[in-house]
Amino acid sequence: MAIEFLLVISMLVVVFLLMLQYAVKAHAERIATAAAHEGLAAASSYGGTGTAGQRTAQQALAAIGPGLSSAHVVASRTPTTAQVTITGQVDQLVPFLEPTVHVHVEGPVERFVPGTSEQAP
């Protein structure tokens, strides 16, 4: 009876740790997504740059708090689109699992295109 109890308890602990690891990863993904959107807003704004987007995303990661370690931020901007990618490691709770987060957001840049707006009557 004691052996069965130990097996059941150990399985419950493993399941609990897996659920906890999933929650920690989901939290880290939300942190990365929020920071990436902040960076995208800076990079895609009128007069923005990829460097501004990268700096803003890194500042947002630092301000939001821990949850994503060794985060790597890449931001770029073309004449029509801006994109931010964040990759990082999630805190490891379960041995042999090394969860990573990869978030990519992109959107159009704010720009003036002559001859495309209509005048009000």
Instruction: Name the residue with tokens 């004449």.
Output: 79
Mean of pLDDT over the chain: 91
Confidence label for 7 from pLDDT (cuts 50, 70 and 90): very high
Q: Is the pLDDT of residue 121 over 70?
A: no
Classify residue 41 as left (phi > 0), alpha (psi -120 to 50) or beta. Answer: alpha
Please, is 49 exposed, middle or buried when counting C-beta atoms within 10 Å of its C-beta (0-12, 13-18, 19+)? Answer: middle
The tokens for 111 are: 């720009």
Indicate the pTM of the whole model: 0.83
Q: Is the pLDDT of residue 117 over 80?
A: no
* 100: nearest Cα among 65, 69, 73: 69
Give Cα 66 to chain centroid, integer Å: 12
